[in-house]
Amino acid sequence: MNIIKHFKTITKHKILVMKGCFKLGLIKQGLLHDLSKYGLTEFMVGAKYYKGYMSPNNAERLDKGYSSAWLHHKGRNKHHLEYWIDYNVSKDPREGKMVGMKMPVKYVVEMFVDRISASKNYLKDKYNDKSALDYYERGKSHYLINEDTASLLEFMLYMNYKKGEQYTFKYIKHNILTGKIEYNKKTLDELKSKL
């Protein structure tokens, strides 16, 4: 049980996300980000499965086949794409299937900051501007994510890789969070191709 190391890891991550959110004007989201990790349901599992180089949720999955901490976490934190999975709208409820719903922009932006911060936290000196994009690319084949949401996240991750964090954060604050950029796959794919 690594209570102190786990506490330090989640707190370092929370501070990184908070700083990123504050830069973007997302003060409330920065303050509230991942507070559920400090509750007993998530914290004790995290301390038990602490590794330091990977998420304790993945370690719990390897041990038990599922992560109780993750199941709790994703249902309480709107910056996770899994929070937004629901049945699609259908006239016949028997034909509905699970799909990713389009996320509000502010939560997609928080998800972007979360991915950058998690990459910095776990990769430490090995982190570079492409790290979060690489991590996303490795896992995206199994995501249930709305195509517009995926395009926005990919656009920001790709911009971070090509233009760097300072440029990307400024662009997000002045173009994405203000609504100057249309939040749809077509527009974002066109903008991504010009980077």
What pLDDT, in 10s, does the model give residues 86-123?
988 776 767 778 899 999 999 999 999 999 999 998 88
pLDDT-derived band at 35, boundaries 50, 70, 90 = very high
Question: How far is residue 46's CA from residue 20's CA, in Å, rounded to a whole number?
Answer: 24
The per-residue pLDDT of the chain, averaged, comes to 93
Q: Which two tokens stand for residue 69?
A: 């901490």
Sequence letter at residue 51: K
Count the neighbouring beta carbons within 10 Å of the beta carbon of residue 185: 17
Q: What values do phi and psi take at 87, rounded to 5?
A: -75, 140
Question: How far is residue 106's CA from residue 103's CA, in Å, rounded to a whole number?
Answer: 8
Q: State in Å, rounded, how far the first CA of the chain is from the last one.
A: 45
Q: Which two tokens stand for residue 153?
A: 């996240």
Report the predicted TM-score, pTM, of the whole model to 2 decimal places: 0.91
Number of domains, the chain: 1
Mean pLDDT for 125-138 is: 95
Q: Which two tokens stand for residue 110?
A: 């928080």
Residues of the domain holding 51? 3-193
Sequence letter at residue 84: W
Instruction: Tell me: pLDDT of 182 over 90.
Output: no
Instruction: Tell me: pLDDT of 15 over 90.
Output: yes
Closest C-alpha to 98, from 34, 143, 163: 143
Instruction: Tell me: pLDDT of 62 over 80.
Output: yes
